[in-house]
A and B are shown apart, each in its own frame.
Chain A
Amino acid sequence: KNEVEQSPQNLTAQEGEFITINCSYSVGISALHWLQQHPGGGIVSLFMLSSGKKKHGRLIATINIQEKHSSLHITASHPRDSAVYICAVNGETSGSRLTFGEGTQLTVNP
Chain B
Amino acid sequence: GAGVSQSPSNKVTEKGKDVELRCDPISGHTALYWYRQSLGQGLEFLIYFQGNSAPDKSGLPSDRFSAERTGGSVSTLTIQRTQQEDSAVYLCASSRKGSTGSSYNEQFFGPGTRLTVL
Q: What residues of B have a CB within 8 angstroms of the CB of A50 in the complex?
A: 102, 104
Interface residues on B, range: 20 to 34
Q: How far is A15 from B33 in the complex, measured between Cα atoms in Å?
A: 36
Q: How far is A42 from B110 in the complex, measured between Cα atoms in Å?
A: 7
Q: Which of A56-64, A69-77, A90-98 contacts B (4 or more CB under 8 A)?
A: A90-98
Q: Which of B11-19, B21-29, B37-45, B68-76 contacts A (4 or more CB under 8 A)?
A: B37-45
Q: How far is A35 from B93 in the complex, measured between Cα atoms in Å?
A: 12
Scoring A33, A90, A98 by chain B CB atoms within 10 A of each residue's CB, the highest score goes to: A98
Tell me, yes or no, whether B99 is within 8 Å of chain A by CB.
yes
Interface residues of B (CB under 8 A from A): 31, 33, 35, 37, 41-45, 48, 50, 56, 58-59, 89, 91, 93, 95, 98-99, 102, 104-109, 111-112, 114
